[in-house]
Amino acid sequence: MSWECRYRSGDECVKLGVDCDPGRAGCVLRGRVYFPFAPEKNTQEMNEAAGRPDTDASRRRDGT
């Protein structure tokens, strides 16, 4: 599978001004794509739907 992000320029995310890391907080893919090998990048709802616990407790506290 491949994808294209309009904010990616080389290895950099132009939107965030840092190296591209698909699924990180602020990424346009967050909450839209399920990451099977990195469940910490998925939203709590996506992990619950897939039957996986949310591994990042900080997301539960701030609601993101």
In a domain, 61, yes or no: no
Range of the domain at 19: 8-56
In a domain, 37, yes or no: yes
DSSP letters of the chain?
-----TTEETTEETTTTEE--TTSTT-TTTTTS--TT-GGGS-HHHHHHTT-----HHHHHHT-
- The pLDDT of residue 29: 81
Backbone angles phi, psi at 40, to 5 degrees: -70, -15
- The pLDDT of residue 53: 62
Local confidence pLDDT in tens for the 64 residues of the chain: 467 888 999 999 999 999 998 888 888 887 777 777 787 877 777 777 777 665 555 455 555 5
The count of domains in the chain is: 1
In a domain, 34, yes or no: yes
pTM of the model: 0.56
Confirm if 30 and 23 have CB atoms less than 8 A apart.
yes
In a domain, 19, yes or no: yes
In a domain, 62, yes or no: no
